[in-house]
Amino acid sequence: MSKKEAIQAADYDEEMTVTMELEDGESVTCAIITILTVNEKDYIILLPLDEKGENEDGEVWIYGYKEDESDPNAEPELFFIEDEDEYDAVSDAFDEYLDQVEFDELIDESSKGSR
């Protein structure tokens, strides 16, 4: 199973994190929200966390995501999305993902209440 598949299969209650090294040398721990495929490319959605493990402002970071298929032990590569149209397409896909997650949660809650 690739890292991407493991992230996509993870239970929502099970938080997966990565540590990002920023240009200024600061390290930020981020929760991995999901990995999306848009136009046959993969993108990772990260939620930066503060020292308490929380995110107060709801800001997410969106990066391109690529795994080295020849080396399953290699760290995935994250890269900035330079093209504005590409970024907008990924952002729209993330909005759809959030809508689906909210819908699934509503269905789960209503099915628990009807038992």
CB 65 within 8 A of CB 35: yes
The count of structural domains within the chain is: 1
At 34, the amino acid letter reads: T
Higher-scoring residue by pLDDT: 96, 110: 96
DSSP state of 76: P
In our burial notation (b when 16+ CB lie closer than 10 A, e otherwise), range 53-74 reads eeeeeeebebbbbebeeeeeee
Range of the structural domain that residue 23 is part of: 3-113
Residue 74 identity (one-letter amino acid):
A
**pLDDT, greater one: 32 or 102:** 32
pLDDT in tens, 31-89: 999 999 999 999 999 999 998 888 888 899 999 999 998 998 898 999 999 999 999 99
pLDDT of amino acid 56 = 84
DSSP state of 74: S
Give the per-residue pLDDT at 103: 73
Contact between 90 and 81 (Cβ < 8 Å):
yes
Burial class (CB in 10 A: 0-12, 13-18, 19+), 18: middle
